Amino acid sequence: MLHIAIFGDLFVRAAILEETLRRHLEPLVGPLHCAAMELGYPDEPAQHNAEIREFVGRPEDVIALAADAEIILSHMPPITEAVLARLSGLRVIGCTRTEAVNINVAAATARGIPVMIAPGRNARAVAEFCVGLIVAETRNLARGHAALAQGIWRSDLYRFDRAPRELHGQTVGLIGFGHIGSLMPELLRPFGVRVLAYDPYVADAVFIARGAERVFDMDILLAESDIVSLHARVTPETRGFIGERQFRRMKRGAYFINTARGPLVDYDALYRALTDGHLAGAGLETFAQEPPTPDSPLLRLPNVTLTPHIAGCSQQSVYQAAEMVCTDIAAWIVGRTPVNCANPATLATALRWPL
């Protein structure tokens, strides 16, 4: 009987992970022995260290639950090199995230342990949210709500000099055209906007199929867009790549939207561009530090709409992530090639069923 350790939390529920894994594996290998626990995310904030990031929980709890496990199915537990060294029977890890940043993938690779992931699990959730954030920021929805909730009727928002522009006829520039960015043209098209997109790693055919105008120079996109929306991944190349020069390349009166990641942006430079009037406003879903400190100056600006990193949250994204990872674990067990493996070099040598 296969022994499974399941690490869910208050978002990716352990019961959903277990039900999905049983549905995929039991027809292949028979009954499973599952041990499960739920960590405190999102009520408990994610931690970071020099080895892994965005994890919740203690390594010793992972070792205790997974001591006899051949498979780990997880969301955010810390799976470090020291943890892996204690799990001698472990053969495969499923991580229901876009990237397995809470797992030392190099250490897993050295031990021949494949790590299955779920890239794009919440792409539609984030894309839908991004469109909502664009509308909320450019049309004063959040400002109107915040004032009225305090009993203030902001008739000044109807003055001509404060009136926003309709989205129709404007240009939206997308930086990054992967799982999320490539969904944006479809969602924006009904508004009648022009969509530009920049991503040097995506083939021409993808831009054409998705209905975006490809731009090969990010400076051109910045200069021509009324709204710039960020959809890139954090890499050594993109960390802090939107800063003072990029904000000054944007049109005066343009808007900046970030539903990607905080480390991509120099927020001090953004603050200056917002306070000196170069940018009309910003919609910010992610921050340099999360949660931001209560005295963060960005939280006090009147021309910013803020949300607490919730764009990727949907019930469908949980079920989709579980389905993607469990499908790949089942494929690996019967000798087929998984679709989404973070360390595919392990697939040629990793032990399969029977374990």
Are 68 and 136 in the same domain? Answer: no
Are 284 and 182 in the same domain? Answer: yes
102: containing domain: 2-121+314-348
Q: Residues 11, 23: contact at Cβ < 8 Å?
A: no
Among residues 263, 311, 307, 305, the alpha carbon closest in space to that of 288 is found at: 263
pLDDT along the chain (355 residues), means of 10: 97 98 96 97 94 97 98 98 97 97 98 97 98 98 96 96 95 98 98 98 97 98 98 93 98 98 96 98 95 94 97 98 98 94 85 55
Q: Is position 355 within any domain? A: no
Query: What pLDDT does 348 receive?
Result: 79
Residue 309: how many CA atoms within 13 Å on its side-chain side?
16
- Joined together, the tokens standing for residue 243 give 């800063």
Are 285 and 147 in the same domain? Answer: yes
CA 267 vs CA 32, 92, 156, 250, 271: distances in Å: 48, 39, 29, 15, 6
Are 168 and 276 in the same domain? Answer: yes
**Which residues on adjacent β-strands are paired with residue 255?**
227, 281
Q: How many domains does the chain have?
A: 2
CATH code: domain of residue 193: 3.40.50.720
Are 111 and 128 in the same domain? Answer: no
Q: Is position 353 within any domain? A: no
The pTM (predicted TM-score) of the whole model is 0.92
Are 231 and 262 in the same domain? Answer: yes
- Kindly report the number of other CB atoms within 10 A of residue 247's CB atom: 23
Are 130 and 237 in the same domain? Answer: yes
Are 255 and 152 in the same domain? Answer: yes
Are 38 and 75 in the same domain? Answer: yes
Q: Is position 146 within any domain? A: yes
- Kindly report the number of other CB atoms within 10 A of residue 286's CB atom: 19
Active site residues: 261, 290, 309
